Amino acid sequence: MKILIVGGGGREHALTWKIAKSPKVNKIYCAPGNAGMAEIAECVNIAAENVDGLLAFAEKNSIDLTVVGPEAPLAAGIVDKFRAHGLSIFGPTQKAAYIEGSKALAKEIMVKYNIPTAAYGDFTDLNEALDYVRKVGAPIVVKADGLAAGKGVIVAMDLETALAAVKDILGDKKFGNAGSRVIIEEYLEGEEVSVLAFTDGKTVIPMVSSQDHKRIFDGDRGPNTGGMGAYSPAPVYTEEMAVWVNENILQATVNAMAAEGRLYEGILYAGLMLTTKGIKVLEYNARFGDPETQAVLVRLETDLVEIIKATIDHKLADMQVKWSSEPAVCVVMAAGGYPEKYVKGDNITGLAEASKTAIVFHAGTALNDGKVVTAGGRVLGITAKGETIKAAVDNAYKAVTQINFQNAFYRKDIAYRALNR
């Protein structure tokens, strides 16, 4: 099979790494890819958002299967376009991907179908939104309605921060059209868990649990990022919880989407909060999470291509998906200044040495005169397994210390919740 993987981040490198292990695959293209993906696939200079360019490439090169990593091309309708041209592609349609593309739609569906979530209000008028925040008070959560690369959520612990967030999104259009509507949510206390699942629109097969670290600094301080690390499994998430979530959240969501005429096929990601009043949905993503994918996929023992084909063919009920019992940890190495302004083009050294104890997934990297250089905010995702979570953490950080680039930054407490349990 000839495979096209759309995207160029850490998640896509992990997908490429896993798909390359399938005996069914003899050629992988990545668009646009990165320096790490270039070692195991042919990178083509087509942006992930360039749906027409990707379609033309897939047709010209007789691609057997396209796997979409990021949310933007899904929201742009890449699946619909490819299917209309008779091409096999993995991911939800534009109507289905709207569950991530509009937090307001996701909220409406959850309320309508009794899927547990935080109380909320949604607004397009700045003054109405500000009045609501003053009335409800802090702590409170402010979210841009649309896609904002994981940065459109502000957890405001005081009124001043909440009002400023609303003004940034609705008034100053900090996130452009993604912020034409704002969701203002009840602040939920508890521990977060990420649960991804394969679904063919009917059957749901959940993956092993994981926990992300969204804040930039140790101890979950500072602004939100796209994710500074993850580990799998999350010990706080019990087998009993998993059974309940599969029926009352994952399956319920897939059933709800079908009932709404938005048949959902692909990866469904549920960000959950384990509160004292039960498990509630924080958000949905219409694709693999990043960096959760890095920690989860290294534990997958079943051929990913087999699972994807079964999903596309609506035969997921026939699949047995197996996972390694060994935990995995991913530590993100970021460029200094991230998630705000950061420098690109710095040389990265120590990759070969680090690869002896961990899998080095590239996120924001590029090749410059044959050398690997930084090319994004999140640069690398150093991922390792171990017999215990502590062993996996130790293996990952050993590799991290062997890698150098100017102003490299990383959290030193990934998986701290699991280690402290």
> For 234-248, what is each residue's pLDDT tens digit?
999 999 999 999 999
Reported pTM? 0.95
* Whether the Cβ atoms of residue 157 and residue 215 lie closer than 8 Å to each other: no
Q: What percent of the chain has pLDDT over 90?
A: 94
Fold for the domain defined by 191-318: D-amino Acid Aminotransferase; Chain A, domain 1 (3.30.470)
Region 244-255: mean pLDDT is: 98
- Tell which residue, 95, 104, 118, has the closest CA to residue 146: 104
Element holding 96 (H helix, E strand): helix 94-101
- At 169 the pLDDT is 93
Domain spanning 125-180, CATH architecture:
2-Layer Sandwich (3.30)
**DSSP assigned state of 91:** S
Are the CB atoms for 150 and 224 separated by under 8 Å? yes
Q: Is the pLDDT of residue 8 over 80?
A: yes
CATH code of the domain made up of 328-419: 3.90.600.10
Taking 90 as the threshold, does the pLDDT of residue 366 lie above it? yes
Cβ neighbours of 243 (radius 10 Å): 11
Beta-bridge partner residues of 17: none
- Residues, the chain: 421
Residue ranges of the chain assigned to CATH 3.30.1490.20: 125-180
Which H helix or E strand runs over 75? helix 71-75
* Cβ atoms of 287 and 150 closer than 8 Å: no
Average pLDDT over residues 333-342: 94
The tokens for 263 are: 């048949």
pLDDT for res 150? 65
* CATH annotation of 2-91: 3.40.50.20
Q: Sign of the CA dihedral 26, 89, 268, 71?
A: positive
CATH 3.40.50.20, the chain: domain bounds: 2-91
Q: How is residue 167 written in tokens?
A: 């003004």
Q: How many C-alpha atoms does 193 have within 13 Å on its Cβ side?
A: 23
In this prediction, residue 178 carries a pLDDT of 85
Residue range(s) in the chain whose domain bears CATH number 3.30.470.20? 191-318
Predicted confidence (pLDDT) at residue 296 exceeds the cutoff of 90: yes
The 153-156 sheet, strands edge to edge: 120-123, 182-186, 140-144, 153-156
pLDDT of residue 382: 98
pLDDT mean over 219-236: 94
**Residues 6 or more apart whose Cβ sits within 8 Å of residue 2:** 26, 27, 28, 29, 61, 62, 63, 64, 65
In this prediction, residue 100 carries a pLDDT of 94
At 399, the pLDDT band (50, 70, 90 cuts) reads: very high
Q: Give the chain's mean pLDDT.
A: 96
Cβ atoms of 213 and 260 closer than 8 Å: no
Which residue ranges does the chain devote to CATH 3.90.600.10? Answer: 328-419
By percentage, how much of the chain surpasses pLDDT 70? 100
The tens digit of pLDDT for each residue in 71-115 reads 999 999 999 999 999 999 999 999 999 999 999 999 999 999 999
